[in-house]
Amino acid sequence: MTEENDEAWKELSEISADPPEMRDQCSQCRRPITVCWCPGLPKTPLCPQSRIIILQHPAEVKRCLRTAPMLSLSLEQNKCLLFRGKKFPSKHEGLMEILKEENTILLYPSVDAVDINELPKVGVNGQRPYNLSMYHSSPCLSSLKACKLVQNTASSYVIRTQPAEGCLSTLESGAFSLSILENQSWYKDAMLGPLHYLCKFQLENGAVTHQSKEFLIKQKTYPKLVGKRLARQLKISSNAIHN
């Protein structure tokens, strides 16, 4: 036992006290250089008349593959603002003023949401909340005029499981909305570049394409047990998207 203990202590003493060497990071996206998606960004950030405001749930920050940074870096600095929290406006400086502006609209498939194509093509503040709980816990959001994207295009974010058929990533929602509101169809392709770049890299290095939870459940191939709450949310999401 003594010899084994001595050997164990020797191995412990040889462990470096310094933190492990970090991989070089991109100064823009803050991702390791080897998995940076910045080459897919527009050569020059876009400067639309409209402005996008993202209301982000804190849990989203923990995800390593997020598209909100792609949206932010695709636009001029003052054209994409991000507020993080579970309830809004809370203590978010400047958000209440934005919510009170006459041209602020909410991108959310609520019951009363109109097709975004029906909105006047003028500069607007587009709000996008991340999930159902945030929407219901923030009464001020329900008072805003809501719109939704009505399109049959499947998400290009194929390396992540979407909750329902027709759901889009934050980047795609912003890109599609701006291309419609600004009447600039090329915005969509220009802004989706980093997402296509990311997915291509991931698929070439072992990632696989994902189907939506709704699709997997219908096919009875979803690996997790679906509870009543998830089933209800999927039904609401599906109805909101397809109606």
Output helix, strand, coil percentages for the chain, rounded to the nearest 5: 40, 10, 45
DSSP reduced 3-state for 106: strand
> 44: buried, middle or exposed (CB in 10 Å: 19+, 13-18, 0-12)?
exposed
Q: Are 234 and 103 a contacting pair, CB within 8 Å?
A: no
Which one, of 214, 127, 111, lies nearest residue 167 by Cα?
214
User: Which three-class secondary structure state does DSSP give residue 236?
Assistant: helix
**Per-residue pLDDT at 114:** 93
Q: How far apart are CA 118 and CA 128, in angstroms?
A: 18
φ/ψ bin of 187: left (φ > 0), alpha (ψ from -120 to 50), beta (otherwise): alpha
In this prediction, residue 185 carries a pLDDT of 94
How far is Cα 47 from Cα 78, in angstroms, rounded to an integer? 9
Residue listed under structure tokens 């003052």: 78
- Successive 10-residue mean pLDDT values, the chain, 243 residues: 61 59 83 94 95 89 86 95 86 87 88 89 63 77 88 86 82 95 95 96 91 72 62 61 57
SS3 38: helix
